[in-house]
Chain A
Amino acid sequence: MMNLDKLREQALQEWKEIKYPKIPIITVGSATCGRAAGALDVLSAIKTKLEENSIQARVFEVGCIGMCYGEVMIEVTLSSTPPILYHQVNTDIAQKIIEEHLLHNKILVNHVLGTRDHLKYEGINPFSEHPFFKNQVRIALRNCGIIDPENINHYLANEGYKGIEKALSLNPIEVIEEIKKSGLRGRGGGGFPTGTKWDFCYKSDSDKKYLICNADEGDPGAFMDRSLLEGDPHSVLEGMLIGAYAIGANEGYIYVRAEYPLAITRLKIAIKQMEEVGLLGDSILGSNFSFKVKIKEGAGAFVCGEETALIASIEGKRGMPRSRPPFPAEKGLWEKPTIINNVETLANVSAILIKDAEWYSSYGTDNSKGTKTFALAGKVNHTGLIEVPMGMTLNNIIFNIGGGIPHDKKFKAVQTGGPSGGCIPSTELDLPVDYDSLASVGSIMGSGGMVVMDEETCMVDIARYFLDFTQKESCGKCVPCRLGTKQLLLMLEKITQGKGEMQDLTLLYNLAEKVKSGSLCGLGQTAPNPILTTLKYFRDEYILHIQDKVCPAKVCKNLIYFKIDPDKCKACALCFKACPVNAIKGAVKQVHVIEQDKCIKCGVCLEVCPPKFNAVLKLSGEEEPKNE
């Protein structure tokens, strides 16, 4: 068998020149989140500045390191200083960094996040000691934000493709055993043991088998798979190679959301590079294993993340799920045995084969091994992409890694599992995050969305929001889901509009249980979870909406109103000018008043009222002022 020794040697040489450079190395985090914060402008500002000063340096883009709230991030390595990571960089600061750090060897301490690679330098701590990173264990995300995702050499230099080399030296059963031993469970939401699933497919007798990577990522509050594909596509592709070898597939697909153009571009580049070095195609690395892979772009339907719907979609049909069994491992794409694995599952597969099962299973809990990535968002200070060992408590994730709730507001709930998951209240913050514990409180692990909510989030409105989503995305094939989610949504709308009755709560609960038990696929079976968990933990909020016509979080439009405090208003006319419907009376030096019958409750007055005056009040429950 051929191996990659020669290529790897070159790659290691290239990598060494980055780690111990002769000329300055600058990397810019430019995944989607970085770009939204202006990474591409920063990149061109850096290039301009380098040119102006005739500085020779190497500049390249890397993926997301996970600290989305700190974007734009850049890293500078000189022959004389270790890698220094800067955060919250804009074009001005970037140019200043070039000026000070590159030209005068002076580090811009105010913007330093830390040093890389556990090196302490002139009082600057390694970034790995930062609270955001300290408790993380990065296995799936091992290379994200570190390597250039468009350069296969960077992946090779970081032990890349050692996993497929190892796999090819074993027989398929041994590979499957290794994955079984690692305890890896599917990261796409279902949590089914990956090795066991592969075993089924391996045992299905067929002339043709397929392996599909599910990169549809439909949870509307999650972006782990996108970051992974943008930051380290080779780790996922290597996982696909290993899986295909294990089950005996020689063709594969990656089903990617069309909304992820950068991920698609990077996958295409990676596939081409693999073909060039013989990691795709016939007789891979000289073995008798052949594999090719195609990219299929999704066309915007949440249900297509479900495996049987996904198969229908690849076949060119409407993406409707069908009942299982038969499971795809027996009858999948074009009726052939097919394995569908999530992006993160596959990135873990390559890591496991590169190291070994024992190492992997040393992380996590009894029934949930390894790590899990989460897209941490909402009302939390450190929003971003994290990876933690299974079993870490919610408390640790939200308050240590996440840095707590902004503006000293009170934590109310955390939502995991997206539209299929539930809202977990503060009383459960000590819950370890693993498949079984999350299920025990009515939520699910899901694919890794984790949205933090504070006192200003209305739990009835959140339930309504998710039902609005699932109702729209229901494919309509089965009645409980198609009609049930619609009725559930209507009831929730009624309550948030202040028109609910107490009996609605019983009705809501009963129907939710019916939709859960009667639906055909996971979409309908889990759609009621947001309702059931909020009913269980936040029933008092429902009752306030119904009996007192009060929205305690002051979100539900029909139950709130705005008022200008005459004692605080300085008659500056800002709100008066900004109101889109001219509902504010007053003039300069004449205290402003909101005409309630004209007010559309858009909140613009509250937004523009200068904080030093703070004269606009948002109220719910108190008696509404009459128009004067």
Chain B
Amino acid sequence: MDGEVKTVSADNSERSELIPILQEVQETEGFLSEKSLEKISKSLNISQTEIYAVATFYSQFKFTPPARHKIKICLGTACHVKGGEKVLEAVKRTLKLENEDTTPDLEYSVERVACIGCCALAPCATIDDHVYAKLTPNKIQHIITEMEG
């Protein structure tokens, strides 16, 4: 770093703006690019290392471009008890994903989340903004194959 980094005083309200700004950038750009981090660092006067340290702590922040369709499989307690893991496996199998969580063509990403608040309809998942309830491996397989067209 250029040595110009000032430490922001403890009650500096600018510092508390860091996370909301990161959230806003991710909301509009889909992820936190190196370029936007550089910009944020300059405008808030917080070193980039420090921004990385904060951003990587929170699972919300992504550093690679998002896929076109985001599949989120709920593995909250209720969904786990009702077989959510099998649903996740079926999604990964259908999309031919192993350890990675995004397809190479950036069409789909798969993420596990904890309780989306529809425990009564477990197991559930969301694809983009739509909630799918009472899933089974076979059902989700069909939903995805259909999306792929």
In the bound complex, do residue A299 and residue B61 qualify as a contact, i.e. CB atoms below 8 Å apart?
yes
Give, as a whole number of angstroms, the nearest-CB distance from A524 to chain B. 17
Known contacts A222-B115, A578-B138: A37-B121 contact under CB 8 Å: yes
In the bound complex, do residue B119 and residue A377 qualify as a contact, i.e. CB atoms below 8 Å apart?
yes
In the complex, whether A215 has a CB less than 8 A from a CB of chain B is: no
In the bound complex, do residue A607 and residue B78 qualify as a contact, i.e. CB atoms below 8 Å apart?
no
In the bound complex, do residue A335 and residue B11 qualify as a contact, i.e. CB atoms below 8 Å apart?
yes
Residues of A within 8 A of B (CB): 32-33, 35-37, 68-69, 71, 218-223, 226-227, 258-260, 296-302, 313-320, 334-335, 375, 377-379, 383-384, 415, 418, 449, 451, 453, 457, 462, 465, 469, 475, 578, 580, 600, 602-604, 607-608
CA separation between A220 and B75, bound complex, in Å?
8
Which chain B positions have C-beta within 8 A of A462? 80-81
Give, as a whole number of angstroms, the nearest-CB distance from B26 to chain A. 9
CA separation between A298 and B11, bound complex, in Å?
20
CA separation between A69 and B119, bound complex, in Å?
9
Known contacts A37-B133, A68-B120, A68-B121: A299-B19 contact under CB 8 Å: yes
Residues of B in contact (CB 8 Å), total: 47
Extra A-B contacts (13), CB below 8 Å, given A260-B117, A377-B120: A36-B118, A68-B119, A219-B115, A223-B119, A258-B23, A296-B19, A301-B57, A315-B15, A316-B54, A378-B82, A462-B81, A602-B86, A604-B137
In the complex, whether B34 has a CB less than 8 A from a CB of chain A is: no
Known contacts A301-B58, A449-B77: A607-B138 contact under CB 8 Å: yes
Using CB atoms, name the residue of chain B closest to A468: B75
Known contacts A36-B131, A418-B77: A221-B119 contact under CB 8 Å: yes
Give, as a whole number of angstroms, the nearest-CB distance from A394 to chain B. 17
In the bound complex, do residue B90 and residue A602 qualify as a contact, i.e. CB atoms below 8 Å apart?
yes
CA separation between A449 and B115, bound complex, in Å?
11
Choose among B20, B89, B94, B131 the residue that contacts A296 (Cβ–Cβ < 8 A).
B20
In the bound complex, do residue B78 and residue A378 qualify as a contact, i.e. CB atoms below 8 Å apart?
yes
In the complex, whether B17 has a CB less than 8 A from a CB of chain A is: yes
In the bound complex, do residue A33 and residue B118 qualify as a contact, i.e. CB atoms below 8 Å apart?
yes
Which chain B positions have C-beta within 8 A of A35? 131
In the bound complex, do residue B118 and residue A32 qualify as a contact, i.e. CB atoms below 8 Å apart?
yes
Using CB atoms, name the residue of chain B closest to A67: B120
Give, as a whole number of angstroms, the nearest-CB distance from A406 to chain B. 10
CA separation between A321 and B38, bound complex, in Å?
28
In the bound complex, do residue A607 and residue B10 qualify as a contact, i.e. CB atoms below 8 Å apart?
no
Choose among B22, B90, B117, B141 the residue that contacts A223 (Cβ–Cβ < 8 A).
B117
Which chain B positions have C-beta within 8 A of A259? 113, 116
Give, as a whole number of angstroms, the nearest-CB distance from B61 to chain A. 7
**Ranked 10 nearest A-B pairs via Cβ:** A221-B77, A68-B120, A220-B114, A299-B58, A377-B119, A383-B120, A377-B78, A300-B59, A300-B60, A223-B117
Give, as a whole number of angstroms, the nearest-CB distance from B5 to chain A. 15
Which chain B positions have C-beta within 8 A of A457? 81
